[in-house]
Amino acid sequence: MIRILQYLLFHHERVVSQSELIAECLGDDTENESVVLKNLIYRLRKIFQNQAQCDLILFKNHERLKEGWLKLHLGKMIGGYISAATAFVVVNQFFPSFYGWFIPGIIGGFVITYWTRKIKAKKSVANKTLN
């Protein structure tokens, strides 16, 4: 699935045919290549569609977006930092074995939780003072 995504991203400026994808990404050793390719493309679309739908639903509802934009922004920005830090740690082998794949995510998860709770606490204090 990754090879297909990489190939499509690399050749994004033109239309890539089904036979070309089969030849470049699946090879000749696969039976029912077109069925396998359709299944893999379907799975790729589902992965990206779920995240995109959540964002679109939120962006359509301006009141919910106004309330939750900071949490959404922090989660996505820290998530991007986690992925960059993970790549940096893994490539430069700062931790032995597979620990480099998990340590940035664990630390980042705690940071996201901390800031989300802090924002929630500030909102509840602000709501109490208004009432």
**Each residue's pLDDT tens digit, 40-76:** 888 887 877 777 677 776 777 777 777 778 888 888 8
In this predicted structure, the answer to whether residue 30 has a pLDDT above a threshold of 70 is no
Core vs surface per residue 4-33: b (16+ CB within 10 A) or e: beeeeeeeeeeeeeeeebbeebbeeeeeeb
In this predicted structure, the answer to whether residue 25 has a pLDDT above a threshold of 80 is no
Q: Which amino acid is at 94?
A: F
* Percent of the chain residues past pLDDT 90, beyond the cut: 15
Q: For residue 90, give every residue at least 6 positions away whose Cβ sits within 8 Å of its Cβ, in sequence order, or none.
A: 100, 101
Q: What is the pLDDT of residue 88?
A: 92
Q: What is the pLDDT of residue 98?
A: 83
Q: What is the pLDDT of residue 18?
A: 81
Predicted TM-score of the model (pTM): 0.53
**Each residue's pLDDT tens digit, 68-118:** 788 888 888 999 999 999 999 988 888 878 888 899 999 999 999 998 888
Q: What is the pLDDT of residue 127?
A: 66
Q: What is the pLDDT of residue 87?
A: 92
